Amino acid sequence: MNIQILQWLLKNRDVLMKVVDVAKTYKKELTYSQQWEIVDKIARLVLPVLEQQAVQPKLLAYDWTEQDDVALLAAGADINALGIDYQLLIDVIIPIIIAILQSLVSRKEE
């Protein structure tokens, strides 16, 4: 779990809710091309906001630390209040956004 991404999503709730709607269509049984379409849709929602806010992908794509436990509890309460399926967030949304950010970071390092 990446608390920075979770907090960023919560600060951008309109994007978060759109991403949730797209992520609900994700199923492991989909073909790779169908899964890629979902990743593409999420990237098209997230990337313009990252660019507009001049967010450095490397700052969001960091590993979990134990200090993040308290922040996770607070974010979890916000996610619950929005009625978002926490499992969807952990299993689909966060990994997709991490992959998008990591591709941006590796692209900038080339």
> What is the structure's pLDDT at 75?
76
> What is the structure's pLDDT at 73?
67
- Cα torsion 36, 40, 42, 47: sign: positive
Whether residue 49 is predicted with pLDDT greater than 80 in this model: the reply is yes
CA 33/CA 61 separation, integer angstroms: 25
> What is the structure's pLDDT at 104?
83
User: Mean pLDDT, to the nearest integer, of 61-81?
Assistant: 67
> What is the structure's pLDDT at 61?
56
Domain map (residue ranges) of the chain? 3-109
CA 15/CA 45 separation, integer angstroms: 7
| The model's pTM | 0.79
